[in-house]
Copies of this chain bind each other. A is one copy, B any other.
Amino acid sequence: MPILVVGSIALDSIKTSSAEITDCLGGSAVFFSLSASFFSPVNIVAVVGKDFPQKHIDFLQSRKNIDLEGLEIKEGKTFRWKASYACDINNPQTLDTQLNVFAEFRPFIPESYKKNDYLFLANIDPDLQYSILSQIPGPKVIACDSMNYWIKTKPEPLKRLLKKVDIYFVNDSEARLLTGQDNLLKAAKEIINLGPEIVIIKKGEHGVLFSSRTHPSFIVPAYLLEDVIDPTGAGDTFAGGFMGYLSSQGRLNSNILRKAVVYGTIMASFSVESFSVERLAGLRKQDIRKRYDEFVKLTKF
């Protein structure tokens, strides 16, 4: 079943301790869609500027499961993000953010997308995320992401959104910031009390904690890699693998949810192996199956 994703498409400039790239394809909607498209069709609602390279549009359009009817190309420049991982591969230092056309993003959902049963609201202003819900009659599964900036500046709109959401993807520091709880189990409980049926706390290289009102908790380590090149987009790639697998199953039970967490983990592990979407772009389904099997072997007891 198709997934509707509303999020950003960006041109990222990334610096690490060993290399640097400029204006490469990035943004939450891009990482999410590429990842999810290995499992399910994905419909993108996003905005770019007139300067957005045609080659990126061609690339996205060439992907079997990705639909761009909801991509708006606007007068002006594309959203740009510049960051450095030179000091800490796990925590980017933002050097520059130019919202450009993304500042005026008013997501418009094409008619053909309105019957999508799976919705992922990537990290944008929680008021905008909320406004999307009124445009579509009622997806079966609503998932969202956010970030520390919105938790700090718009806690009430975010909490209003969380009341409507089924699945909330959040990283450990954001979960602590949102709840004031240092302990992640307590933080997860508090978040569930805010509304979501499921909260997925991402701990980066330390794996994931899955908590739910009705499904048993699940803890899973990250797939360990010897070389992490660029963690940009890992969280959205995780969400893409999770939502993609979920919608490919068409139903939701504890076993499927656990496998979705593992597929999210596997997809994120590929994403960080290259700059931008390079690794995801070259990925084949058998690579995913192989790493999934390796992960089973790594964790079974």
Q: Are A220 and B185 in contact (CB under 8 A)?
A: no
Q: Are B297 and A220 in contact (CB under 8 A)?
A: no
Given contacts A183-B227, A221-B219, contact A300 B258 (CB under 8 A): yes
Beta-carbon contacts of A208-243 to B below 8 Å, as 1s and 0s? 010000001111110011111000000000000000
Closest to A223 in B: B219
Q: Are A220 and B221 in contact (CB under 8 A)?
A: yes
A184 CA / B226 CA spacing, docked (Å): 8
Beta-carbon contacts of A148-183 to B below 8 Å, as 1s and 0s? 000000000000000000000000000000000011
Smallest CB separation, A98 vs chain B (Å): 32
Beta-carbon contacts of A274-301 to B below 8 Å, as 1s and 0s? 0000000000000000000000011111
* A216 cross-chain contacts in B, Cβ below 8 A: 297-298
Cβ of A261 under 8 Å from chain B: yes
A218 CA / B295 CA spacing, docked (Å): 9
Cβ of A77 under 8 Å from chain B: no
Q: Are A206 and B209 in contact (CB under 8 A)?
A: no
Q: How many residues of A contact B (CB 8 A)?
A: 31
* A261 cross-chain contacts in B, Cβ below 8 A: 301
Interface hub of A182, A186, A220, A262 (most chain B Cβ within 10 A): A220
Q: Are A298 and B203 in contact (CB under 8 A)?
A: no
Q: Are A301 and B224 in contact (CB under 8 A)?
A: no
* A182 cross-chain contacts in B, Cβ below 8 A: 89
* A259 cross-chain contacts in B, Cβ below 8 A: 301
Cβ of A92 under 8 Å from chain B: no
Given contacts A206-B206, A226-B186, contact A219 B299 (CB under 8 A): yes
Closest to A257 in B: B301
A197 CA / B225 CA spacing, docked (Å): 21
Cβ of A139 under 8 Å from chain B: no
Closest to A219 in B: B221
* A89 cross-chain contacts in B, Cβ below 8 A: 182
A228 CA / B181 CA spacing, docked (Å): 13
Smallest CB separation, A16 vs chain B (Å): 13
Q: Are B301 and A185 in contact (CB under 8 A)?
A: no
Closest 4 CB pairs of A and B: A258-B301, A206-B206, A219-B221, A185-B226
Q: Give 14 CB contacts A-B under 8 Å.
A: A89-B182, A183-B226, A183-B227, A183-B228, A185-B224, A185-B225, A203-B206, A207-B221, A209-B224, A218-B298, A219-B299, A259-B301, A261-B301, A299-B299
